[in-house]
Structure 1
Amino acid sequence: MEVDVTSDHESMNRTLQDAAWNEPDLQLGQGVIALDKEFSADADLPEAQSWPWDNRKSIYLLMSEHELHCVHALREYINDNHDHIPVKQQFWSYGHMIHCLNLLRTSVMCNADDTPLRTGNDELIKAGGVFSRMCYDWSKLRTWTRERSACYRPVYREDNNYPELERYKFCPDGSQPWMEI
């Protein structure tokens, strides 16, 4: 797969940057899945909380979702600091950002990607440019997660009074399993 490391995700134009980071496949919550407890047991997964709409299923968070959450949070934290937003007005704490850095560090070490990136002269600012890389298919993963969706979306995160159960009412297929209870 050809990868171009330059994209609007790193644009200094915040409008372009925001649009890139708001692509549908990068939206958080899609990697929160509900798996049959029997499947989870057969896969030797640890027990997890029950899905509120079907006690035969448990809720899991894919590692890629956690990593993506951290990338989104770090981006927000960096932009807030770049924009001189006072610390007390920022959503993410320093401690959470250190947690995210550590999570991403362990992911880098776990994946141990040995793809050689070209280096350049003063015309090439960043290592890499366009290069070939073996990647998993992100869209296939998103399709798989939508088929097993826990219907979760991290909405109203600033509102501590927003009922957690309401965040499990965003099924990508439009179904409403809470109506069947």
Structure 2
Amino acid sequence: MLSLLVFAIGAGVAVWANPGLEIPDMVYSPAQNVIRYKNIVFNSGWGDQKSIYMGPPSEENNKAWDDLHVAPAMVKIPASDAAKLVNKTAPIPGDSGNSLGYYLIGLDVFHQLHCLDMLRKVLWGVDMHHTNDEEAMHHLDHCIEMIRQSLMCSADITVDVWAWNEEKQMVTVRADNMHTCRDFEAIRQWALEREAGEFDRTINLVDS
């Protein structure tokens, strides 16, 4: 309820600021009630503003990336939530091929992080073990397109400021600005608590 209230207040403010603004209905997500907002100052990625996710692939930063998107990638939801989805999704089969009463989904943020992680590894020369170069390029092209659409969909309007750079003796843009963000960890925990686990993806379970 709180997340819906926050959205309603935000939408009300937006309409007040721009009376001509039309806001479409929100596309349903079973994770929408976990949405919280927090202000975060971004790392610039320059100088000493580095994070665990940067640098050549290593055991440490590979694990950090995996923790972001691997386990929470496939989520199970009950039929009552699945019925509210805009697009129909597949039921999860049990060991004997029967329905467990759960349906398979993923939250797109984890797909986007998977794509970014793959681009990171390819940039550093890691072999992603595709069948051939054509398949590899198709996968990379897909990932770039998904990230492009996501960035344009969210269209972050955080203000980037400019400041005098003593070293370069010129005005340069600052990347370490404060952003109002969705609480990613809350969303990740929601997904982890509903992790689908292993199941036979070759079973075509007909939904009743």
Task: State the match for 1:52 in structure 2.
Answer: 93
Deviations 1:88-124 (A, max 9, x none): x642501110110000010011001111122343279
Aligned equivalents of 1:76, 1:26: Cα separation in 2: 15
Q: How much has 1:27 moved relative to structure 2? A: 4.1
Task: State the match for 1:63 in structure 2.
Answer: 108
1:117 maps to which of 160, 180, 184 = 160
Identity of aligned residues (%): 20
Q: How much has 1:32 moved relative to structure 2? A: 1.2
1:105 aligned to 2:140?
Answer: no
Deviations 1:16-52 (A, max 9, x none): xx523422631413131011122111x2342212213
1:75 aligned to 2:117?
Answer: no
Distance 1:134-1:55 versus aligned 2 partners, 3 A rule:
same
Aligned equivalents of 1:27, 1:66: Cα separation in 2: 7
Opposite residue 102 of structure 2, the aligned amino acid is: K
1:10 aligned to 2:45?
Answer: no
Secondary structure of residue in 2 paired with 1:51: strand
TM-score w.r.t. structure 2 length? 0.59
Aligned equivalents of 1:56, 1:70: Cα separation in 2: 30
Task: State the match for 1:91 in structure 2.
Answer: 129
User: Bigger CA drift: 132-141 or 44-53?
Assistant: 44-53
Q: How much has 1:4 moved relative to structure 2? A: 1.6
Indicate if the aligned counterparts of 1:28 and 1:68 stay in contact, CA closer than 8 A: no
Aligned equivalents of 1:90, 1:147: Cα separation in 2: 29
Distance 1:66-1:110 versus aligned 2 partners, 3 A rule:
same
Structure 1 residue runs of 5 or longer lacking an equivalent are 153-163, 167-181
Aligned equivalents of 1:14, 1:109: Cα separation in 2: 28
Indicate if the aligned counterparts of 1:32 and 1:65 stay in contact, CA closer than 8 A: no
Map 1:16-27 to 2 at 5 A: 19-23=60-64, 25-27=67-69
Task: State the match for 1:141 in structure 2.
Answer: 187
Q: How much has 1:14 moved relative to structure 2? A: 4.5
Structure 2 residue runs of 5 or longer lacking an equivalent are 1-38, 131-135, 202-208
Distance 1:145-1:90 versus aligned 2 partners, 3 A rule:
closer
Task: State the match for 1:132 in structure 2.
Answer: 178
Map 1:154-169 to 2 at 5 A: 165=200
Aligned length: 144
Q: How much has 1:142 moved relative to structure 2? A: 1.1
Aligned equivalents of 2:72, 2:194: Cα separation in 1: 9
